[in-house]
Amino acid sequence: MASAQEILSLYRQFLRYSRQFENYNFREYFLRRSREEFRKLKEFDGDTSAIIEKAKKELGVLRRQSKISQMYHFDKLVVEKVKKH
Is 16 among the residues that bind another protein (CB under 8 A)? yes
From candidates 2, 23, 28, 35, binder to another protein by CB under 8 A: 35
Q: Tell me: does residue 39 bind another protein (CB under 8 A).
A: yes
- Report yes or no: 65 and 14 within 8 Å, Cβ to Cβ: no
9 in contact with another protein (CB under 8 A): yes
**Rounded to the nearest 10 degrees, what angle do helices 24-43 and 49-69 cross at?**
170
Calpha distance 74→55 (Å, rounded): 28
Q: Which residues bind another protein (CB under 8 A)?
A: 4, 8-9, 11-12, 15-16, 19, 35, 38-39, 42, 85
